[in-house]
Amino acid sequence: MPTFSLLLLPGDGIGPEVMVEVERVISLLNKKGKSEFKIQSDLVGGAAIDKYGKPLSDDGLAKAKASDAVIFGAVGGPKWDKVPYEIRPEAGLLRLRKDLDLFANLRPAICYPALAEASSLRREYVEGLDILILRELTGGTYFGEPKEIVTLENGQKRALDTTVYTTSEIERIARVAFDLARKRRNKVHSAEKRNVMRTGVLWNEVVTATHAREAKDVELHHILADACAMQLVRNPKQFDVIVCDNLFGDMLSDEAAMLTGSIGMLPSASLGAPDAKSGKSKALYEPVHGSAPDIAGQGVANPIAAIASYGMALRYSCGLAKEADIIDKAIANTLARGLRTGDIMQPNMRKVGTTEMGSAILEEVEKLLAA
Ligand code: IPM
Ligand code: MG
């Protein structure tokens, strides 16, 4: 029986609550499925700061490196607003991304038919929406050096972030974009700011060259990142895969998430390059939503994004496409039954909490596994 090792990092806020629901789905697959998942857990973010004095322990990092996939909850909250910048909760997540070299961040934005009314855009714009934001995740403004605040002689302060990309960093993410597009609707939009930024000029150049050399079969469009933000709300269905740098990807993916009705719905995958020997890629899966401290501990958080993130792990790290499809279908069926957590509540639907939503999805998974 194929065995997979998973590291669960629930983190802060609603992270632990939604992770409980993920664990229930994992247990069910362990019982009923054809593979075995071995689970370890550790602290990350504020929870790790409280225990270890830093947002990710070295042991936690080592476990992440050794696992087939990391399933991540969320980090951060007002309790840690005052901790030093270097050890803030988010630094734990950034360290995982960087040290595991998870350069390819897949953020699908899919509008479930049952939720078309929950979007802030009219149904006709979002119904059937299925786009994929591919965000470069280990370079650009997030990690460029220098990154500092210095005090000037006149007493003023000056803050500096550096946006930096090399040819090979752009090439490898472009390649992933073309590969993903081939399995979808074969279209890539590359978004940058070549009209203002040197990194945008190089980005455009390298994507164009990679396309000409390796991916002429894929339709490629270049779009300025600001225009892309605008087109995402004007006519989102024109897009298939959007590839962009780390910072633009952060913003465009939040925008795309909202088109689908709730950011509480969306999973993401962060993947490294396949290992030369084993062919396996390091991987981390996380809901796009944050720790939502305002509703944490109340049992009302939406577990769908976290469960769907585990679904992505099945697809991309375990080669279990059938099981991944079952999870997606179970979520769609549960929504079609009219169950809604508060964030996606609509008239005439039944409002449920985290556990009840998890139980309903579990039931659907069980039915679909048996079918
Ligand atoms: C995301 C988040 C993170 C980011 C934060 C939590 C550091 O917003 O994954 O989009 O900015 O990348
Ligand atoms: Mg973000």
Task: Write the pLDDT tens digit of every residue in 6-21.
Answer: 999 999 999 999 999 9
Task: Write the pLDDT tens digit of every residue in 121-160.
Answer: 999 999 999 999 999 999 999 999 999 999 999 999 999 9
Q: Is 142 an annotated catalytic residue?
A: yes
Q: Does 47 lie in the same domain as 123?
A: no
Q: Does 218 lie in the same domain as 120?
A: yes
Instruction: Identify the domain containing residue 140 by its residue range.
Output: 108-265
Q: Does 187 lie in the same domain as 44?
A: no
Pairing of strands 283-287, 267-271: antiparallel
Single-letter amino acid, residue 38: K
Question: Among residues of the chain, what percentage have pLDDT more than 70?
Answer: 100
Contact 4, 323 (CB under 8 A): no
The rounded distance, in Å, linking the Cα atoms of 226 and 235 is 14
Q: Does 248 lie in the same domain as 151?
A: yes
Q: What is the mean pLDDT of residues 29-43?
A: 95
Ligand 1 atom nearest 253 alpha carbon: 10
What is the count of structural domains for the chain? Answer: 2
- Boundary (domain end) residue, out of 265, 289, 305: 265
Residue 16 sits at the vertex; the CA angle it makes with 338 and 3, to the nearest 5 degrees, is 90
The reply to whether ligand 1 has any atom less than 6 angstroms from the CB of 21 is no
Q: Does 202 lie in the same domain as 124?
A: yes
Q: Which residue has the higher pLDDT, 115 or 210?
A: 210
- Boundary (domain end) residue, out of 265, 297, 314: 265
Name the catalytic one among 42, 112, 193, 310.
193
To test the pocket of ligand 1, the residue of 12, 87, 88, 93 to mutate (highest count of ligand atoms within 8 Å of its CB) is 93
Name the catalytic one among 42, 112, 142, 285.
142
Q: Does 282 lie in the same domain as 254?
A: no
The rounded distance, in Å, linking the Cα atoms of 231 and 238 is 8
The rounded distance, in Å, linking the Cα atoms of 361 and 231 is 34
Distance from residue 346's CA to the centre of ligand 2 (Å):
26
**What's the mean pLDDT when you consider all of the chain?**
96
Task: Write the pLDDT tens digit of every residue in 265-318.
Answer: 889 999 999 999 988 999 999 998 899 999 999 999 999 999 999 999 999 999
Name the catalytic one among 42, 68, 245, 250.
250
Task: Write the pLDDT tens digit of every residue in 303-338.
Answer: 999 999 999 999 999 999 999 999 999 999 999 999
Q: Does 334 lie in the same domain as 224?
A: no
CATH number of the domain to which 193 belongs: 3.40.718.10
Determine the pLDDT at residue 311: 97
Q: Is 12 an annotated catalytic residue?
A: no
Q: Is 125 an annotated catalytic residue?
A: no
Q: Does 300 lie in the same domain as 254?
A: no
Three-state secondary-structure class, residue 90: helix
Q: Does 141 lie in the same domain as 241?
A: yes
Confidence check: pLDDT of 261 > 80: no
Q: Does 97 lie in the same domain as 127?
A: no
Q: Does 261 lie in the same domain as 114?
A: yes
- Boundary (domain end) residue, out of 223, 242, 265: 265
- DSSP string covering 49-81, please? HHHHSSSS-HHHHHHHHHSSEEEEEE---GGGT
Q: Does 257 lie in the same domain as 122?
A: yes
Q: How many CB atoms lie within 10 A of CB 338?
A: 13
